[in-house]
Structure 1
Amino acid sequence: MSPLFAEFVGTAMLVLLGEGVVANVLLKKTKGHDSGLIVIAIGWGMAVFVAVLCTAAASGGHLNPAVTFALALADKFPWDQVPAYIAAQMAGGMVGALLVWLVYRDHFEATADADAKLAVFCTGPAIRNTPFNVLSEVVATFVLVFAVLNMAAPRFGLGAMNALPVGLLVLGIGVSLGGTTGYAMSPARDLGPRIMHAILPISGKRDSDWRYAWVPVVGPLIGAALAALLFKVNF
């Protein structure tokens, strides 16, 4: 695969499996209905594992604009490739969300809870307190990116760590820090699917909560930047 195609396919697969487990837990009449945060965290960890495993050799398995941004800040990835990588990731996130909706379409129809339908696509705070919501995303993404930068040697990128440690890292962040905002940690995982929620003909849906949408974009970018700067200062 070319690097850009790998980032597109990998992010689509990541969102398909990650948001798929959220749909399985939250939507009505699914086999996994109401199985809880632990199942969601495991599902996201395995989603990252599979997506990185499939794309590491081709692109480094970034699959996240915050990771790409951090690697560039740390002088481990060329800046001129950043826009194309992020565009591929965002497009992949949107396609992954589309596939989740198609797979679970009957269950979206069977679910009356509009908040649950939105939560399949994007994150939202358990308690809406914007400064602390941003802080939650900053801290979670800092942990992700700082671990990536310190573990990924000599080749930098998520794929350099091998897939399993990345999945375990995301699982650990999910069960530890995921209870506040849902640990988006990636604009491609949140903003792309949120756009799809807005445009897809989902019956009984609510608004896409655009007043919160900037939090899982800005928070991860700040966390990634702090991790990259700390890494650069020390190494």
Structure 2
Amino acid sequence: MSGDNLQIFSEFLGTLILVLLGNGVVAAVSLEKSKAQGAGWIVITLGWGAAVTIAVYASSFMGPAHLNPAVTLGMAVAGNIGWNLVTPFIIAQIVGGIVGAALVWVTYMPHWEATKDEAAILGSFATGPAIRKPFSNMITELIGTFVLVFALLAFGRTTFADGMNPLIVGVLILSLGLSLGGPTGYAINPARDLGPRIAHQILPIANKGDSDWGYAWVPIVGPMLGGLLAALAWGMIP
């Protein structure tokens, strides 16, 4: 496998693992008869932080492990990757998100039928707002992703002990979830939302309702703008 193809594959695999473990914890907390049902927001944010850490460890030896179109865009604007990799990376990330979500569906197969709450089922795949104000929700996603991408760029100027970078990134995701995740469920990653939302649409999930495509633009536009603005702001720093 060539160098570019290996990097593209790493984005697919890393995003698959990210969504499998991240959406897996949401399903664990949300679905009926799960042993973790009702464990709450702290468990979800801890689970997502751990999911990012494991996904980066599992894929970063093959590529940059962006696992997020907004990060890929930001890194391209900052000059850290070539523009020729942007579209293949984003496609690989979205496909990885679809497959990861499908594996969550398989893992929790008996629980979809036991769960009658359509919102809980959709929430195990895609994000949704606590208060539906699309423009405000988009700004929330923009702010969170700005912090994510700016911090990742800053980490590039810091020397961590060997092998510590993925753990630090996981702590960053945990912090974002705890501090900024309440309004929208902190997608901060278009592939993390769009891929699983596509899976929700196409899979024969028991008791599922609408995939809420009317909201789907928010966790795409907000993060992409946040990543772009973070890279532009980073470029102003000498």
- What TM-score range do you get, normalising by the shorter chain? over 0.9
**Residue from 82, 86, 97 that aligns with 1:82:** 86
Normalising by structure 2, report the TM-score: 0.95
1:115-194 pair list within 5 angstroms: 115-153=119-157, 162-194=165-197
Aligned to 1:3: 7
Normalising by structure 1, report the TM-score: 0.96
Kept after mapping to 2: 8 A contact 1:16/1:99: yes
Aligned to 1:203: 206
- Counting aligned pairs with the same residue, the percent is 54
Aligned to 1:71: 75
Q: In structure 1, the residue corresponding to 2:60 is in which secondary structure? A: helix
Aligned to 2:30: 26
The one-character-per-residue Cα deviations of 1:54-84 (angstroms, maximum 9, x if unpaired) are 1112111111111000000111110011111
Counterpart Cα distance in 1 of 2:78 and 2:166: 21
Counterpart Cα distance in 2 of 1:161 and 1:199: 38
Query: Given residue 225 of structure 1, which amino acid in structure 2 is its aligned partner?
Result: L
**Residue from 62, 68, 71 that aligns with 2:66:** 62
Kept after mapping to 2: 8 A contact 1:26/1:116: yes
Structure 1 residue 136: Cα displacement: 0.5
Aligned to 1:96: 100
**Residue from 43, 64, 67 that aligns with 2:47:** 43
Q: In structure 2, the residue corresponding to 1:121 is in which secondary structure? A: coil
Q: Does 1:231 align with 2:226?
A: no
Counterpart Cα distance in 2 of 1:204 and 1:154: 48
Counterpart Cα distance in 1 of 2:200 and 2:118: 11
The one-character-per-residue Cα deviations of 1:108-166 (angstroms, maximum 9, x if unpaired) are 111010110000000000000111101110010011000000112389xxx99711000
Extract unaligned runs of 5+ from structure 1. Answer: none
Superposition CA RMSD, Å: 1.6
Counterpart Cα distance in 1 of 2:226 and 2:86: 17
Counterpart Cα distance in 1 of 2:122 and 2:110: 15
1:102-117 pair list within 5 angstroms: 102-117=106-121
Counterpart Cα distance in 1 of 2:26 and 2:236: 38
The one-character-per-residue Cα deviations of 1:87-115 (angstroms, maximum 9, x if unpaired) are 11111000000000000010111101011
**Paired residues, number:** 232
